[in-house]
């Protein structure tokens, strides 16, 4: 149902999935002034998009549609020039001063409201990585149109061509570096429109005004190629993903909000790439290499992002040894950070973990799949499994089916875990390797777990050069070819 529907009266109800939902006064007023209602079949919820938000999003998507059309006639070298100019402005202290000033305001506002600010603040490393990612795009030997394969027949041939997809929409969490990430779709000839979390909106506006637009203009690219939905309202994300002009909808973040956005896009028939819940799991195997386990834990808890270590599983047969090693490693993390690590532990493990420097051990019944959204003080869960088989079963059942690491000198059990786990990202050491730029030398547009099932024909890393369609072209040399 949308705002173009004729006005219903008071007491009217609409069918949402298998539920009849009564139209509220707010819903009626929204429809009467050109807003939109978005029903969600799974819950019977009706989301309300105010008319003003709808107009803002409509305009941004319309610009992206025009931008996509204009890009098709633009030389690929101009796109590379854009990436290089964008990187240069990020490194230019004078230009970037505007961004840092806006970011300082955003960070202070977040702290004042009790919001996490660790991922919001632009650090020197974040700034360096943004520029490096853009230069990486510019250096890729990749064209907007590219032949993938040819099948030769007698008198004719069929070519498979990689081709641009269309308008790609993103809804990002409050991290300003994702602004640069999103522009990666230009490499494959697509345009982009996105909404960024309200915590980082001021920073995003500064990046747009002082870095992005000058870079587009300098390279001769249409401004419509990259569009920021300039709204802090959640309804802007709903309206964006409800737009049927999108070719792909990408949601980065976790929890109910991402599930909701995915449902909105799917109801419009738009393909989605969803992150879902984050949090990596690590299993200490039956034959533990102590230094490797210590290193894996320490280097997986340097900061909180989706691939940060969340749940540690030890095995009953060597639980005492494993818990001692895990406790020592977590204590080292606390010492390195000059603080504390919160450990959510099953009651049976507490005695082996207590007494170490920097550990706040909390004996409680834990949900091993709960993601700890810490900002400064690391939090992990520690549980016990009967065997590697049991540990993998717990991962498949309780985790978001994202990152799994098995640290063991028994190669057979590592291979068994690899073959039987529902994990798109599997390793035998630290968990933070799960990142497109770090692992694949491709700036990452988004990660997707298997929380809602395996992905068709693609891996869990979404990169700009993977956002394409396939077109078939025939070359007929025999004019009398027929069937």
Q: Are residues 222 and 114 in the same domain?
A: yes
What percentage of the chain carries pLDDT values higher than 90?
Answer: 64
Q: Is residue 325 part of a domain?
A: yes
**What pLDDT shows up at residue 151?**
97
Ranges assigned E (strand) in 232-295:
248-251, 272-274, 280-284
Lowest-confidence pick of 8-17, 107-116, 455-464: 8-17
> Who has greater pLDDT, 238 or 2?
238
Q: Are residues 108 and 65 in the same domain?
A: yes
- Would you say residue 7 has pLDDT above 60? no
pLDDT tens for 143-197 read 889 999 999 999 999 999 999 999 999 998 777 888 788 898 999 999 999 998 8
Q: Are residues 311 and 344 in the same domain?
A: yes
Q: Are residues 116 and 143 in the same domain?
A: yes
Q: Are residues 286 and 248 in the same domain?
A: no
Q: How confident is the model at residue 4 (pLDDT cuts 50, 70, 90)?
A: very low
C-alpha–C-alpha distance, residues 231 and 149, integer Å: 43
pTM over 0.85: no
Q: Are residues 190 and 92 in the same domain?
A: yes
Q: Are residues 83 and 230 in the same domain?
A: yes
Q: Are 404 and 421 in contact (CB under 8 A)?
A: yes
- Would you say residue 13 has pLDDT above 80? no
C-alpha–C-alpha distance, residues 248 and 264, integer Å: 12
Q: Is residue 150 part of a domain?
A: yes
Q: Are residues 256 and 387 in the same domain?
A: no
Q: How confident is the model at residue 9 (pLDDT cuts 50, 70, 90)?
A: low
**Segments in 150-227 forming alpha helices (H):** 178-182, 201-207, 213-219
Got the DSSP string for 63-122?
HHHHHHHHHTTS-HHHHHHHHHHHHHHHH-HHHHHHHHHHHHHHHHHHHHTT---TTTS-
Phi then psi for residue 321, to 5 deg, are: -65, -45
Lowest-confidence pick of 63-77, 103-117, 397-411: 103-117
Q: Are residues 434 and 296 in the same domain?
A: yes
Highest mean pLDDT among 197-201, 341-345, 374-378: 341-345
Write out the residue range of the structural domain in which residue 13 sits.
Answer: 1-47
Q: How confident is the model at residue 449 (pLDDT cuts 50, 70, 90)?
A: confident
Nearest Cα neighbor of 58 from 246, 184, 186 is 246
Strands 309-315 and 359-363: unpaired
The owner of tokens 């990596």 is 280
**What pLDDT shows up at residue 11?**
62
Q: Is residue 451 part of a domain?
A: no
- Would you say residue 123 has pLDDT above 80? yes
Q: Are residues 288 and 272 in the same domain?
A: no
pLDDT tens for 273-285 read 888 788 999 999 9
Q: Is residue 321 part of a domain?
A: yes
**What pLDDT shows up at residue 117?**
78
CATH number for the domain spanning 288: value is 3.40.309.10
CATH number for the domain spanning 184: value is 3.40.605.10
308-319 average pLDDT score: 96
Nearest Cα neighbor of 311 from 381, 242, 394, 366 is 381
Q: Is residue 211 part of a domain?
A: yes
Q: Is residue 377 part of a domain?
A: yes
201-219 average pLDDT score: 95
Q: Are 340 and 303 in contact (CB under 8 A)?
A: no
Q: Indicate the number of domains in the chain.
A: 3
Lowest-confidence pick of 30-34, 204-208, 344-348: 30-34
Q: Is residue 445 part of a domain?
A: no
**What pLDDT shows up at residue 26?**
80
What percentage of the chain carries pLDDT values higher than 70?
Answer: 97
C-alpha–C-alpha distance, residues 292 and 296, integer Å: 6
Q: Is residue 252 part of a domain?
A: yes
Q: CB count, 10 Å around CB of 482?
A: 4
pLDDT tens for 457-467 read 888 888 777 88
Q: Are 192 and 462 in contact (CB under 8 A)?
A: no
Residue-wise burial string across 468-478, b where 16 or more C-beta atoms lie within 10 A, e elsewhere? beeeeeeeeee
Q: What average pLDDT does the chain have?
A: 90
Q: Are 241 and 249 in contact (CB under 8 A)?
A: yes
Distance of CA 412 to the CA centre of its chain: 33
The owner of tokens 């709808």 is 54
Q: Are 164 and 68 in contact (CB under 8 A)?
A: yes
Q: Are residues 69 and 83 in the same domain?
A: yes
285-312 average pLDDT score: 96
**What pLDDT shows up at residue 6?**
46
Q: How confident is the model at residue 2 (pLDDT cuts 50, 70, 90)?
A: very low
Q: Does the CA dihedral 70-71-77-80 come out positive or negative?
A: positive
- Would you say residue 380 has pLDDT above 90? yes
Q: How far apart are the first and last CA of the chain?
A: 46
**What pLDDT shows up at residue 96?**
97
Given 30, 47, 64, which residue is the final one in a domain? 47
Lowest-confidence pick of 23-32, 78-87, 353-362, 434-443: 23-32
Q: Are residues 336 and 394 in the same domain?
A: yes
């Amino acid at each position: 149902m949308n705002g173009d529907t004729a006005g219903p009266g008071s007491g009217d109800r609409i069918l949402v999935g298998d539920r009849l939902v009564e139209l509220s006064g707010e819903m009626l007023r929204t429809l009467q002034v050109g807003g939109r209602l978005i029903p969600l079949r799974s819950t019977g919820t009706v989301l309300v998009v105010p008319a003003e938000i709808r107009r803002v999003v409509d305009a941004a998507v319309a610009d992206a549609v025009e931008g996509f059309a204009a890009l098709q006639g633009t030389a690929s070298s101009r796109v590379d020039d854009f990436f290089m100019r964008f990187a240069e402005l990020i490194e230019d202290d004078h230009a970037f001063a505007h961004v840092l000033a806006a970011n300082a305001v955003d960070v202070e506002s977040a702290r004042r409201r009790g919001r996490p600010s660790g991922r919001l603040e632009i650090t020197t490393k974040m700034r360096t990585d943004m520029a490096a990612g853009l230069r990486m795009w510019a250096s890729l030997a990749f064209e907007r149109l590219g032949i993938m394969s040819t099948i030769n027949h007698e008198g004719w041939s069929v070519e498979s061509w990689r081709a641009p997809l269309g308008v790609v929409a993103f809804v990002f969490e409050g991290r300003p570096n994702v602004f640069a990430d999103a522009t990666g779709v230009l490499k494959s000839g697509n345009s982009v429109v996105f909404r960024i979390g309200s915590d980082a909106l001021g920073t995003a506006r500064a990046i747009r005004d002082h870095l992005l637009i000058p870079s587009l203009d300098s390279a001769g690219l249409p401004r419509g190629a990259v569009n920021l939905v300039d709204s802090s309202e959640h309804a802007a994300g709903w309206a964006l993903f409800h737009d049927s002009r999108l070719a792909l909808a990408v949601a980065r973040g976790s929890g109910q909000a991402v599930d909701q956005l995915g449902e909105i896009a799917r109801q419009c028939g738009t393909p989605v790439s969803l992150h879902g819940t984050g949090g990596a799991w690590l299993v200490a195997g039956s034959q533990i290499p102590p230094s490797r386990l210590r290193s894996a834990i320490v280097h997986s808890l340097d900061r909180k992002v989706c691939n940060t270590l969340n749940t540690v599983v030890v095995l009953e047969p060597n639980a005492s040894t494993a818990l001692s090693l895990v406790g020592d490693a977590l204590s080292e993390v606390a010492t390195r950070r000059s603080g504390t690590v919160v450990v959510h532990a099953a009651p049976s493990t507490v005695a082996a973990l207590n007494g170490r420097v920097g550990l706040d051990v909390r004996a409680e019944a834990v949900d091993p799949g709960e993601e700890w959204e810490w900002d400064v003080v690391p939090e992990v869960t520690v549980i016990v499994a009967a065997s590697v088989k049991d540990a993998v079963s717990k991962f498949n059942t309780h985790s978001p089916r994202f990152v799994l690491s098995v640290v063991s000198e028994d190669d057979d059990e590592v291979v068994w875990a690899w073959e039987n786990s529902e994990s798109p990202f599997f390793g035998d050491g630290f968990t933070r390797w799960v990142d497109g730029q770090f692992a694949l030398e491709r700036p990452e547009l988004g990660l997707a777990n298997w929380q809602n099932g395996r992905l068709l024909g693609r891996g869990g890393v979404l990169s700009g050069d993977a956002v394409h369609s396939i077109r078939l072209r025939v070359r007929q040399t025999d004019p009398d070819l027929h069937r």
